[in-house]
Amino acid sequence: MPDPVTPPPTPPVPLAALLADQGLGLRPIAGPDDAGSRSVHWVHTSEMADPYPYLLGGELLLTAGVQLTDAYADEYAARVVEAGAAALGFGVTPVYDTVPAALIEACDRHGLPLLEVPPRTRFTAVARAVWRLMAEARHRELSRVTGAQQGLATAAARPDPVPAVLRQLAVRLNGRAVLFAPDGAELYTTGRTPSPGARTALARLARVVRASPAPRSGPTSATDAADRAHLAAYALGGGQGLVLGVAAETREAGDHTITGVAVVLLSLLTAPHQSAAEAGRSAALVRLLLGAPPEEAAPLLGPGPWTVVHARGGDTPFAAGALAASLGSALVETDGDTVRVLTDREVTARTGWTLGVSDPADPVDLATADTRARRALGRAEATRTPLVRHHEAGFAGLFAPAEAAAHARAHLAPLTGPGGSPALVETLRTWLSLHGGWDRTAHALSVHRNTVRQRIARCATLLDADLDDADVRMELWFALRQL
């Protein structure tokens, strides 16, 4: 078999859905009787004599049999099955007027679903139908997940939130939800009662999860099956030893995401009370939300010094929270694909993440620290470095900040004035920080390299300066650092 390949994020399409599309006119002519239940993850067209090296598994393979012969039909079907393809579609004409009998017999022998593609149906129409069905399934999944998230959030706001969240989860999964205590006892249980065997297996699965060390990527979880029931168990955060167990007769797309939302809510609802420091930080956030100036809320945040971290990476729904926990902070938020964390601990590299770290700052200087962390992240991505720190050092520390800032504003006025733009300033800063590298600057700014060249040329014109001169570059770099 080929190396396992992660399927695409869209849900697979049952082969039966394609057979039901009368516009395609696909007709099953060989293979097992339950072929319609097979899942199609993608469509691939190939006229190779041996398509095995080019298949990932789960494809509907389409071919007109350009290189197919009766003598090779059996080996061809065997190779397609070995590659893990879901089904084979054979287009009649222009090579064959009918599907070769040798291929039909070979597909029956190897259990490979064989579909006849009529002359009027183009292969691209089959592929388009698959993508359309996938998009529809994805839309249904997202709608279901969104509705479940809203229902769980509403349940979490009720007077008795933990049982309410469990009831809502059981309804959304059409199954059973159980909250296990550290000793294995069922604290709360609701929903459809599973068989005794499934109930015993779920309790055993909860013990396995509780005994497993939590990985860096997030909470420990495990799945199993017993008595035709799908089982899953998740360790809740907060170090309380609580485990969420779920059991359902069917498992649908989106179930893991829905259960993940419940895990987060239950972890928050069952977490211990805030410490004095955490309560003070929450009070600082409330003050800011109510319109207090940062100088008034800063003392409640704590003396610090505080470090701002900008990060990109992570591949789980709870990666941001896991990153913040590993940095010893609950002060985290996600802005698009960037995670921002505020911490008072030393920051080191984290597997799977690219980090930009500010220099330590007092609470009143966090806005400046945030900007520096963002710039450090851009440099880390451009240089493919796991962690880049911002440091104020060297000659910049020899000048009074106000005097340096005034000089910077005057020197860079052509770029910040009516003829310039913020994009020119940011491009020049990034380009200088990367030693004039066009490709790395383009990657850091997510623009084309020609755009970088045009902007730098515009900067040179506005500044009336030779940007190839090292002295000019140095002076501009010092000025840009003061903005």
pTM of the model: 0.47
Q: What are the structural domains, with CATH classification, of the chain? A: 13-132 (3.40.1390.20), 158-269 (3.30.450.30), 303-391 (3.30.70), 395-482 (1.10.10.2840)
The dihedral formed by the CA atoms of 215, 216, 217 and 218, expressed in degrees to the nearest 10: 60
Residue 58 Cα distances to 7, 10, 11, 14, 100, angstroms: 8, 13, 12, 11, 24
Question: What is the SS3 assignment for the chain?
Answer: CCCCCCCCCCCCEEHHHHHCCCCCCCEEEECCCCHHHCEECEEEECCCCCCHHHCCCCEEEEECCCCCCHHHHHHHHHHHHHCCCCEEEEECCCCCCCCCHHHHHHHHHHCCCEEEECCCCCHHHHHHHHHHHHHHHHHHHHHHHHHHHHHHHHHHCCCCHHHHHHHHHHHHHCEEEEEECCCCCEEEEEECCCCHHHHHHHHHHHHHHHHCCCCCCCCCEEEEEECCEEEEEEECCCCCCCEEEEEECCCCCCHHHHHHHHHHHHHHHCCCCCCHHHHHHHHHHHHHHCCCCHHHHHHHHCCCCEEEEEEEECCCCCHHHHHHHHCCCCCEEEECCEEEEEECCCCCCCCCEEEEECCCECHHHHHHHHHHHHHHHHHHHHHCCCEEECCCCHHHHHCCHHHHHHHHHHHCHHHHCCCCCHHHHHHHHHHHHCCCCHHHHHHHHCCCHHHHHHHHHHHHHHHCCCCCCHHHHHHHHHHHHHC
Band of pLDDT at residue 69, cut at 50, 70 and 90: very high
Look at residues 415, 392, 414 and name the one whose alpha carbon lies nearest to residue 404.
392
More confident residue, 73 or 300: 73
Report the range of poorest mean pLDDT among 58-67, 215-224, 299-308, 369-378: 215-224
Residue 316 Cα distances to 94, 169, 256, angstroms: 48, 20, 11
Tell whether the model's pLDDT for residue 321 goes beyond 80.
Answer: no
Report the range of poorest mean pLDDT among 139-143, 280-284, 307-311, 362-366: 280-284
User: Of the spans 76-90, 180-194, 391-405, which averages the highest pLDDT?
Assistant: 76-90
The helix-helix angle for 276-289 and 294-301 (nearest 10°) equals 170
Report the range of poorest mean pLDDT among 144-153, 235-244, 350-359: 235-244
pLDDT (average), residues 361-387: 85
Sheet bearing 307-313, strands edge to edge: 332-335, 338-343, 307-313, 353-357, 387-389
Percent of the chain with pLDDT over 90: 40
Tell whether the model's pLDDT for residue 130 goes beyond 80.
Answer: yes
Tell whether the model's pLDDT for residue 183 goes beyond 90.
Answer: no
Per-residue pLDDT at 346:
87
Whether the link from the prior residue into 317 is cis, omega within 30° of 0, is: no
Residue 325 Cα distances to 152, 237, 239, 397, angstroms: 23, 10, 12, 34
Report the range of poorest mean pLDDT among 149-158, 298-307, 326-335, 470-479: 298-307
More confident residue, 11 or 295: 11
pLDDT (average), residues 187-214: 86
**Do strands 243-248 and 221-226 pair parallel, antiparallel, or not at all (unpaired)?**
unpaired
**CA–CA gap between residue 143 and residue 11 (Å, rounded):** 14
What is the tens place of the pLDDT at every residue in 202-223?
999 998 888 766 554 445 888 8
Band of pLDDT at residue 316, cut at 50, 70 and 90: very low
Per-residue pLDDT at 387:
92
Tell whether the model's pLDDT for residue 280 goes beyond 80.
Answer: no
**CA–CA gap between residue 76 and residue 116 (Å, rounded):** 17
Per-residue pLDDT at 38:
92
Report the range of poorest mean pLDDT among 15-29, 52-66, 388-402, 432-446: 388-402
**CA–CA gap between residue 313 and residue 350 (Å, rounded):** 10
Tell whether the model's pLDDT for residue 12 goes beyond 50.
Answer: yes
CA angle in degrees (0–180, nearest 5) for 247-248-250: 145
What's the mean per-residue pLDDT of the chain? 85
**CA–CA gap between residue 156 and residue 166 (Å, rounded):** 10
Per-residue pLDDT at 212:
66
**CA–CA gap between residue 183 and residue 192 (Å, rounded):** 23
What is the tens place of the pLDDT at every residue in 389-425?
886 555 554 555 666 778 888 888 889 888 888 899 9
More confident residue, 401 or 65: 65
pLDDT (average), residues 372-384: 86
Band of pLDDT at residue 103, cut at 50, 70 and 90: very high
Tell whether the model's pLDDT for residue 5 goes beyond 60.
Answer: no
Tell whether the model's pLDDT for residue 288 goes beyond 70.
Answer: no
The dihedral formed by the CA atoms of 390, 394, 397 and 401, expressed in degrees to the nearest 10: -70
**CA–CA gap between residue 396 and residue 478 (Å, rounded):** 7
